[in-house]
Amino acid sequence: MAAQFKDYYTTLGVSRDATPDDIKKAFRKLARKYHPDTAKDKKAAEEKFKEINEANEVLSDPEKRRKYDQLGARWNEAGGFEPPPDWQQAGGPGGGSSQEFHFGGTGFSDFFEQFFGGGSRYGFPRGQGFEEEYGGATRQGRARRGHDIEGDILVTLEEAMHGTLRPISLQTTNRQTGQAQTHEFQVRIPPGATDGRRIRVPGQGEPGRGGGEAGDLYLRVRHAAHPDFTTREADLHHELDVAPWEAVLGAELIVPTLDGSIKLRVPAGTADGQQLRVRGKGLPKGKTGERGDFFVTINVVLPTQVSEAERKLWEQLRATSTFQPRA
């Protein structure tokens, strides 16, 4: 049975023909509003923040958005939502609903997990031949290790910074008996879990056969999009809008980091697009106590509307300045 349909356009408050830029702006605005660090009701905000992230994950990806729009065409038909008959073919690998396992507690909804989840069964169990895997002769009675299972887990940057414990449930279906089994367990997200890193949970993959051991579960960390920061390995990146005079004359500005605000010195003569680095203000690197760096990219923003007094000052600057940008 299909999971309950999620209207991601409504979640982000954009029309179905919204441009990628509209989606980006809507996401940033809502993410800032519902960010657990700033909202009053942290629990409700956290849920909303994850919903917004999920909607952004699908709508900001052209391929996922195309697939979602295919699904969405039938969402309010009488008798409840069912995916189109050709959904699986159109969805391609990973997009189908025929997977034999189902995740819970990963930060994504059942709907996302069913249609857009990155979960996959992979790996080569010891002692299993190619023919057996792909439908050939089965050697009965031989102990075989279960497959490894891989899935995505949505982690906020705050969770990545400090680490957290996550209750996860994994429902697997025995391919021989058709019986479903649900396993519930806690997964420790270590401080400094970088985007793309896989966390191994031993023995929580597909059950083994004929007395063989179970495979492992690999959870691939996906950093939730943050309104102010992006990450690259353990480094944290932030874009800072500055006025032209702040860039030319230099300034001391207060900028947010994941563990409080800091005072950043913007040197005189800083160019648009220039990166400033603050050492040791990124994510933790393993257990050494060392941390990644904080990179601030300067965006010089020009005023689009000026008062009469400001116009006079710009005119005075034009008359006085020896600066020749096209020289």
Partner 1 sequence: MNSHASAHSVDTLAELSGVSSQTILEYQQQGLIQPDFDDDSLRLLRRAEFLREACEMNVRGVKLLSHLLDEVERLHQELRRRR
C-alpha neighbours within 13 Å on the C-beta side of residue 269: 1
Under the binding rule (CB under 8 A), the answer on residue 312 touching partner 1 is: no
Q: What count of other Cβ atoms lies within 10 Å of the Cβ of residue 232?
A: 13
Within positions 38 to 77, which residues make up the interface with partner 1, using CB under 8 A? Answer: 60-61
Under the binding rule (CB under 8 A), the answer on residue 138 touching partner 1 is: no
Tell me how far apart the alpha carbons of residues 126 and 128 are, in angstroms, rounded to a whole number: 6
Under the binding rule (CB under 8 A), the answer on residue 196 touching partner 1 is: yes
User: 3-state DSSP call for residue 122?
Assistant: strand
Under the binding rule (CB under 8 A), the answer on residue 200 touching partner 1 is: yes
Nearest alpha-carbon partner for 47 in 59, 38, 35:
35
Residue choice 31, 149, 155, 201 for contact with partner 1 (CB under 8 A): 201
Under the binding rule (CB under 8 A), the answer on residue 218 touching partner 1 is: yes
Under the binding rule (CB under 8 A), the answer on residue 186 touching partner 1 is: yes
The residue among 36 and 215 lying less far from partner 1, judged by its C-beta, is: 215
What residues contact residue 38 under an 8 Å CB cut-off, 6+ apart?
32
Amino acid symbol at 214: A
Under the binding rule (CB under 8 A), the answer on residue 163 touching partner 1 is: no
State the minimum distance, in angstroms, from the CB of residue 150 to partner 1.
9
Tell me how far apart the alpha carbons of residues 156 and 147 are, in angstroms, rounded to a whole number: 29
The residue among 166 and 247 lying less far from partner 1, judged by its C-beta, is: 166
Under the binding rule (CB under 8 A), the answer on residue 273 touching partner 1 is: no
Tell me how far apart the alpha carbons of residues 168 and 103 are, in angstroms, rounded to a whole number: 7
Structure tokens at 123: 């790996």
188 φ/ψ angles, rounded to the nearest 5 degrees? -90, 120
The residue among 160 and 266 lying less far from partner 1, judged by its C-beta, is: 160
C-alpha neighbours within 13 Å on the C-beta side of residue 317: 11
Could you tell me which stretch among 69-77, 185-193, 271-279, 293-301 binds partner 1 (CB under 8 A)?
A: 185-193
The residue among 128 and 270 lying less far from partner 1, judged by its C-beta, is: 128
The residue among 8 and 218 lying less far from partner 1, judged by its C-beta, is: 218
Q: Which residue has the tokens 């408050």?
A: 13
Site for partner 1, rule CB under 8 A: 20, 24, 60-61, 122-124, 126, 128-130, 133, 145, 148, 185-188, 190, 195-202, 216, 218-219, 230, 232, 286
